[in-house]
Structure 1
Amino acid sequence: MTLKLEPDEQELLEGWLRAHGTPQQVVKRCRIVLLAHQGHADVEIAEELGLNRHTCRLWRERFIREGLEGLWEVTEGRGRKPQAGLAQRIVEATVSSKPAGQTHWSTRTMAKAQGVDASTVCRIWQEHGLQPHRQETFKVSRDPQFVPKLLDVVGVYLNPPQNAVVLCVDEKTQIQALDRTQPGLPMKRGRCGTWT
């Protein structure tokens, strides 16, 4: 099939080749059309561009049928293939279970458990507003003397006696407590799980 370009079409194709913003798949299509215009056969074009000759024929024919617009068409690609029920399984596992020996799921542990990529887990968690690594904690003592004791402790900080040494002991960061004093509330969309 012979392919002849109008001068303005040839100029536009060459401009697309030079433009930095032209997608590489469109650049290859432009090269196919320009080489075909110069009289090269599909086999020669394929060899020069490192493509399959059928690909060269496809884009030559598409240009003849559809013109310049046909070169910009987005073709069906590999892309993400949705798996039925995958998101539901991941969300269900995230809110209803925990990995053995850990307090919460990470994207990597969930990905390994579900047999998918970590980025897939991350995307699903974002879509459903889940953040298993975030926990809200607060524990109110049931001790009837809690308020007087609290005032004594705060008083030492606010108005320490002369020559007093005030020490504060806080929980150790980066260490996860595996046993809790009571069950926490489960995680929901837009709300962190809780534990004490």
Structure 2
Amino acid sequence: MTAAGGRGVLVGVSDNRLTPLVLSQAERSTLENWAKRRSTAQGLAMRARIVLECAEGRSILAVAARLGVARNTVSRWRSRFLARRLDGLSDEPRPGVPRSISDAQVEQVVVRTLEEVPEGSTHWSKRELAKQVGISPTSVQRIWKAFGLQPWRSEDFKISTDPL
């Protein structure tokens, strides 16, 4: 056991003043899966590791040093877990203006781009599609970019019959 930051606090020794963090078998299994699975968001995986380390009886300082995060981070996720269990580890809504385009509108833009062609044209323009769906042309452009859509490009290749 070593001193952390020269303050005389021993790393690895639990703090008796903290509320014990006890996990059920189902919670432990879920947290271990979140921490190990590659498809888990990295933020959620780190939160799962923090809770698992705290459940081992380690102090906030010990967990922070072991995982390379700030003490405040360990303290925050430990207290959220104690208050709301597994639900407390998920991301909360961020501040700011909520989305103005629904998932249904995004789906409508993608489906129309891929499956329909406007009358009298070979492909959708962002202005035409925006008018049909009821969103701005900039939003259509962002959706196309997010999904890698380029309706002005043809999927077929034809060899020219031009003799030159």
> What is the TM-score normalised by the length of structure 1?
0.39
RCO greater where, 1 or 2, for CA within 8 Å and sep 6 or more? 1
Structure possessing the higher radius of gyration over alpha carbons: 1
TM-score, normalising length from structure 2?
0.46
